[in-house]
Amino acid sequence: MAVDGKERTTGSAGLAVGSGSRLTRVCVRGVLLLGVLISLFPFYWLVVMASGTTEDIYSYPPKLVPGPHLLDNMGRVLDTVDFFGSLFNTIVVAVVGTALVLFFDSLAAFAFAKYEFPGKRFLFGALLATYMIPAQLSLVPQFVTMAEFGWAGSLTALIIPGAANAFGIFWMRQYAQNSLPDELLDAGRIDGAGFFRLYWQVAMPLFRPALAFLGIFTFISIWNDYIWPLVVMIDPDRVTLQVALANLNVLYNTDYSLVMAGALMSVVPLIIVFLIGARHFLRDLAAGATKM
């Protein structure tokens, strides 16, 4: 009887622990679901405003369901600005700029993380110091430099100055120090691999999660950049998307449904890029966790 009583007590305790852990999982998932809904609400509200009229936006109580004017507002955006021409310019700048940043930042980070050379600490400290300088302070000298090269008004002026950045080098260096074992590099050197072969065949496969994050971050930053394209693109027919959409925002009598429709059209490519990049980012992280 004592044994049976002990077994019943143990079974009751196990049932209580199981119920508690199940309740904890339900609460955690509920909190995560609430966070997802809160994060998605601004995008949903953008759709609501883009599919209505300016009067609907100012109405009280506000309308929480999409209206019937989305296609009309999108058509008005296409009639007002050169959307597809600006979209093409932005895609070229964002894709080429992101590719250059991924290459140069990862290459510099590989050298900073795994090689010793004179002035290494000083150079890295100077690199971090440039990251602390506001970008607005360099607008004038950067524009003068682009004008001296004859690049002012061309897409080259948007791509070359941002081909490498301090944040990307710092981020990739920190990742390389923790994810790239020295034993792999030593094995590659024994096989006769040089610097670029070690970088491309040994380091780059391990850098993929960090590169996915840096690629998403850089692409979104270039896509949303407004100040530098506004300054350097002196030809109004070759502006980027954000500068073109700014023409929808008139100082007086602004049609906010038109502005919101343009914003919605400009954010769709970013969502696609984020979904593609995030999938690779999470997949590589899960694969690395499994191997560990």
pLDDT digits (tens, 9 = 90+) for 188-243: 898 888 889 999 998 998 898 889 889 989 999 999 998 999 989 887 778 898 98
pLDDT score, position 289: 44
pLDDT score, position 292: 44
- Average the pLDDT over each of 19-28, 60-69, 166-175, 281-290 and give the range with the smallest value: 281-290
Which pair of structure tokens corresponds to residue 118? 């004179």
Average pLDDT over residues 75-83: 87
Average pLDDT over residues 16-44: 82
Q: What is the pTM of this model?
A: 0.82
Residue 291 has pLDDT above 50, yes or no: no
Residue 70 has pLDDT above 70, yes or no: yes
Which pair of structure tokens corresponds to residue 264? 């919605």
